[in-house]
Structure 1
């Protein structure tokens, strides 16, 4: 027979309410840390922390990429903090594209709801997997791998993505290279592009760093 003391402890653990918090709504007034945001005081939490209406509106595709990504990450949807999931809406106009990008902290599942999207990713062994998706199709993009979406067909496309992190991160490779202040000589060095190509792409994406060209070359 089990000792009486053990039975008492077992019953108390079953019958007592859990000491774990039900949720940890993000306190966006405080900085995030690797584990996420700090929790808001329970007395300040409202139902609006657990709902988000931003994915119902069409994103503005009037840009060079002819696409828009509307995130419902922890920063926009505080109730997601600590729950391990988030979402986003993707709008692709005609000839729209979301260039090669990564989500460092999450895998992604994409669901096409309108139009056609050519989507794919590149594995760490440089194998490419891509397919044209139609309404109702799903595709998964493993965490951290480069992937892309391109509008295909005769009409704009819409898709919804879910992620297994409240803050998956979002880094577009071309923006990081050509929309930043990384000096042109360094960009040329790491991409094998010539100076004219780098300067052109920096103008397109709004990057800086050309003025450091000659001085930086002395350091390479």
Structure 2
């Protein structure tokens, strides 16, 4: 900048220092993209507390035991009842309170043969999927509408970046099982179809009709079908 070439005693130089200080502060804020770092060794969530914070209040240290840091929550498959043929069992801070302040969670995904974990996003976390059993067609779509997709097999990994639409489809014979690690204690999940066609209250039909270039009768049909999926 031109002001840097002036004598250091001149007022414009001081303005430059202020400018760069503010610029540095803005840059520091914009790179914060994950859960906050912990400020103590442990902070097991007190899920019974009525105090609301960005996360959870810590359980009293003298009430914390080794059992708080262990869970068999993902050890057994759940019963798949969805018409989509999949079931996600999420071990987030609400299910495993010891995760509080550590910025991680896990999920088990069980797929029936031909089962689909439909297009969805995690607004607060990236996902690393390990395929424990079976064969999946997986992929995500960038903000430029570019699809990255492939078929993965048992023992392989696939990464889904934070906030991008992604999906998994069981393309093998028999059931499949995936284990996912997520970079947030509460990554959140928003299914694309349910978000649009099963929101409460409902989006005005004209919005969906124009967005998808379909008739309002088709909007009603999709609402009925997706609400039951």
TM-score range, shorter chain: 0.7 to 0.9
Looking at structure 1, the residues matched to 182 and 58 of structure 2 have their Cα atoms a distance apart, in angstroms, of 21
Q: How many angstroms does 1:31 deviate by? A: 6.0
Equivalent position of 1:79 in the other structure: 98
Q: Kindly indicate whether the alpha-carbon contact (under 8 Å) linking 1:31 and 1:37 is maintained by their aligned counterparts in 2.
A: no
1:109 correspondence with 2:128: yes
Q: How many angstroms does 1:107 deviate by? A: 0.6
Q: How many angstroms does 1:114 deviate by? A: 0.6
Looking at structure 1, the residues matched to 137 and 52 of structure 2 have their Cα atoms a distance apart, in angstroms, of 35
Looking at structure 1, the residues matched to 190 and 225 of structure 2 have their Cα atoms a distance apart, in angstroms, of 17
Alignment of 1:1-220 (within 5 A): 20-30=39-49, 35-180=54-199, 181-182=201-202, 183-206=204-227
Looking at structure 1, the residues matched to 51 and 205 of structure 2 have their Cα atoms a distance apart, in angstroms, of 32
Q: Kindly indicate whether the alpha-carbon contact (under 8 Å) linking 1:107 and 1:144 is maintained by their aligned counterparts in 2.
A: yes
Query: Could you say if the C-alpha distance between residues 165 and 33 of structure 1 is closer, same or farther in structure 2, counting changes exceeding 3 Å?
Result: farther
**Unaligned ranges ≥5, structure 2:** 1-38
Query: Could you say if the C-alpha distance between residues 45 and 117 of structure 1 is closer, same or farther in structure 2, counting changes exceeding 3 Å?
Result: same
Looking at structure 1, the residues matched to 196 and 51 of structure 2 have their Cα atoms a distance apart, in angstroms, of 25
Q: How many residues align?
A: 188
Q: How many angstroms does 1:119 deviate by? A: 0.4
TM-score by length of 2: 0.77
Q: How many angstroms does 1:34 deviate by? A: 6.7
Looking at structure 2, the residues matched to 184 and 81 of structure 1 have their Cα atoms a distance apart, in angstroms, of 40
CA-based RMSD of the aligned residues comes to: 1.8
Looking at structure 2, the residues matched to 27 and 194 of structure 1 have their Cα atoms a distance apart, in angstroms, of 49
Q: How many angstroms does 1:49 deviate by? A: 2.1
| Secondary structure class of the residue paired with 2:46 | coil
**Unaligned ranges ≥5, structure 1:** 1-19, 208-220
Looking at structure 2, the residues matched to 128 and 22 of structure 1 have their Cα atoms a distance apart, in angstroms, of 41
Q: Kindly indicate whether the alpha-carbon contact (under 8 Å) linking 1:60 and 1:67 is maintained by their aligned counterparts in 2.
A: no
Q: Deviations over 1:183-206 (max 9, x none)?
A: 333332443332122111111122
Q: How many angstroms does 1:32 deviate by? A: 8.1
Moved more, 28-37 or 58-67: 28-37
Looking at structure 2, the residues matched to 95 and 41 of structure 1 have their Cα atoms a distance apart, in angstroms, of 46
Looking at structure 2, the residues matched to 78 and 122 of structure 1 have their Cα atoms a distance apart, in angstroms, of 32
Q: Deviations over 1:139-160 (max 9, x none)?
A: 0011100000000121111000
